[in-house]
Structure 1
Amino acid sequence: MKFKTLMTSAMAGLMGLAMLGAAQAEDILDKVKAAGVLKVGTETAFAPFDFIDAGEHVGLNVDLFAEIGKELGVKIEWVTLPWDGVFPGLESGKFDMVAGPATITNARMERFRFTAPIAEATVALLKKTGDDSITKPEDIAGKPVGSGKATAQLAQVIEFGNTLSSPIEAKEYVSFNEAYADLAAGRVVAVANSFPNIAYVAQQRPETFQLIEPPFGVKTYFGFPGRPDPEYATLMDAIDAALAAIKADGRLSTIQKKWFGVEFDTPGKLDKANI
């Protein structure tokens, strides 16, 4: 009898935990809605996605998350920090998701849940205007090349460099602005970043920087990372639905054209099978 009672109690406890887990799965979206605020982590040195202009945080992410906020009925609260602190900040719960954005890779999908792509992220190179020693990506062989610390762009340029006649001398920077400053000063011969980012930089400062075409990286895309934990599932579902609505009615393409000068034909939600 005691054994049966213990088993019944144990089963009741397990069912209670299961019900608690189900309730917790709704907690993050419920908390966001209740607070009326979605906390979003990002860095502000990744133009044209996030950057500071005349003391104001601007960029594609600011515009796009304003639309996401409208869809969810909440305000956006920005939490800014260096890029190498963004993912740890997400995992420690400092904010609800990341604007970034981040390149969608299989390795990152092991740790995070990504939204559908919001722009292309194929990696290309930026050089100093008038540097005739570099006319194509392969010309960086054996030379110092900069990129952002802990970024997919850094990983790709190192991998690309290893295929050349001489490996590159990779230099890591906390922010891409620092990398661009070193490029302007001649401390590196090129900076590797996503095609839309450096196309924007070259467009803004043609007297200093020039885009090296074609891009050398594999075709990749940017998305917004969130946590894969069950309690975040409803929040990420809601953000995916918001992005789908924003894409369907043309708001996404309008924002892309504003910041890139072109719109990207981005696919639907990616998984490991189609990266």
Structure 2
Amino acid sequence: MSRPLSLSRRAPLAAVGLAAVLVLGACGSSSDATADLGGSKGSVAPNGITVNLTADQKRVTTSKVDAIAALVPEEIRKRGTLQVVDSLGTVPPLDFHATDDKTIIGAEPDLAYLIGDVLGLKVELNPVSWENVFVGLDSGKYDVGLTNITVTEARKEKYDFATYRLDILGFEARKGAGWKVTGPADVAGRTIAVASGTNQEKLLIAWSEADVKAGRKPVDIKYFQNSADYYLALSSGRIDAYLGPNPTAAFHAAQTGETKVIGTYSGAGDQVLGKIAATTRKDNGLVGALNGAINEVLKNGSYAQVLKRWGLSEEAVPSSEINPPGLPRTD
């Protein structure tokens, strides 16, 4: 969880405002692309479509583009594989295990395979814990991280980024909780769970500090590293809400009908439009090829098909950017 996400200008974004700002484009169709939006075993996604949860994904595909493939560093071209590092498969609909409990499926793997198609490379997914994503990128063990990584100014010192999705956070609470989150005052004195080492944590800490300065109670922050634990805490009433990636919160709420998203906010706070990006070690020469591949699938419509498949159309970007302004530094 840079797994951080984001969006917004000056104020927190409630559901209505979010929809207005985030419908940005990435439309169209492609004769090269194919998609299966259903399956014999499915689940309801946030937009109401049925998604295929089996190992037989029938993923969206597209064609190789030689001019973009030529941008890939020679070492990777000769190897013929793109080593993609992702999470452990526990963050639906971004990346999670299919019904066979082995195959990793979701929006992030789908995009990874599309990038591989354009670059003419075989994609190999490497699921690791969050902290090991960056260890593996630093060592060169993995070529690119595609696991909901937010662009930050601090990370730009060590990594290059090619953006592919807006970054939005969601507060998930029990249905009927009777409260909403639009800013720091709404979480004052509340018990909110978050994963450590994430941008969500930074945002929650900043909000708690703002509450204290305003004479309100601080946020009682609880830490959980996997979804099973925080959903158990939420259902038992030990926490009031969980702050995490909005796609995950919305997907879970749609599946269970027991929770709801009570507020959304930019993972980058109110200073910058947060963006999720393909992440690679700085100056290793790969970011141009990643940027080109993402812009190609944006143009040919296969990107839009992937986001629609997982209920993430409102988080589409109009184009991929290299190293845009990121989450500001904090002391």
TM over 0.5, yes or no?
yes
Q: Does the C-alpha gap of structure 1 residues 256 and 111 become closer, same or farther in structure 2, counting only changes over 3 Å?
A: same
Say which SS state the counterpart of residue 126 (structure 2) adopts.
strand
2:194 is matched with 147
- CA distance, structure 1, for counterparts of residue 133 and residue 226 of structure 2: 12
Contact 1:83 1:175 in 2 (8 A): no
- CA distance, structure 1, for counterparts of residue 86 and residue 138 of structure 2: 13
Q: Which amino acid counterpart does residue 260 of structure 1 have in structure 2? A: G
Say which SS state the counterpart of residue 265 (structure 2) adopts.
coil
Aligned counterpart for 1:259 among listed residues 306, 310, 319: 310
Say which SS state the counterpart of residue 167 (structure 1) adopts.
coil
- CA distance, structure 1, for counterparts of residue 206 and residue 76 of structure 2: 40
Q: Does the C-alpha gap of structure 1 residues 187 and 64 become closer, same or farther in structure 2, counting only changes over 3 Å?
A: same
Say which SS state the counterpart of residue 150 (structure 1) adopts.
coil
Q: Does the C-alpha gap of structure 1 residues 102 and 176 become closer, same or farther in structure 2, counting only changes over 3 Å?
A: farther
Contact 2:169 2:264 in 1 (8 A): no
2:47 is matched with none
1:240 is matched with 291
1:209 is matched with 259
Q: Which amino acid counterpart does residue 195 of structure 1 have in structure 2? A: N
| Residue 227 (str. 1) matches residue 287 (str. 2) | no
Say which SS state the counterpart of residue 101 (structure 1) adopts.
coil
| Residue 113 (str. 1) matches residue 160 (str. 2) | yes
1:34 is matched with 78
Output one character per residue of 1:200-257: Cα deviation in whole Å (capped at 9) or x when no partner.
Answer: 2212222x211113436534221121110x3x11x22111111110111111111111
- CA distance, structure 2, for counterparts of residue 172 and residue 66 of structure 1: 33
- CA distance, structure 2, for counterparts of residue 197 and residue 247 of structure 1: 23
Unaligned runs of 5+ in 2: 1-69
Larger radius of gyration: 1
Output one character per residue of 1:46-98: Cα deviation in whole Å (capped at 9) or x when no partner.
Answer: 22111112112110011111111111111111111111221122112221111
Mapping for residues 168-187 of structure 1, pairs under 5 Å: 168-187=219-238
- CA distance, structure 2, for counterparts of residue 121 and residue 97 of structure 1: 18
Unaligned runs of 5+ in 1: 1-25
- CA distance, structure 2, for counterparts of residue 272 and residue 214 of structure 1: 22
- CA distance, structure 1, for counterparts of residue 111 and residue 325 of structure 2: 27
User: Greater relative contact order: 1 or 2 (C-alpha under 8 angstroms, separation 6 or more)?
Assistant: 2
Say which SS state the counterpart of residue 223 (structure 1) adopts.
strand
- CA distance, structure 1, for counterparts of residue 159 and residue 275 of structure 2: 15
Contact 2:307 2:316 in 1 (8 A): no
How many residue pairs match? The answer is: 244
2:245 is matched with 194
Contact 1:84 1:149 in 2 (8 A): no
Structure 1 residue 29: deviation in Å? 2.5
Q: Which amino acid counterpart does residue 305 of structure 2 have in structure 1? A: T
Contact 1:125 1:193 in 2 (8 A): yes
Structure 1 residue 152: deviation in Å? 1.0
Q: Does the C-alpha gap of structure 1 residues 154 and 176 become closer, same or farther in structure 2, counting only changes over 3 Å?
A: farther
TM-score for both structures, normalised by structure 2: 0.67
TM-score for both structures, normalised by structure 1: 0.80
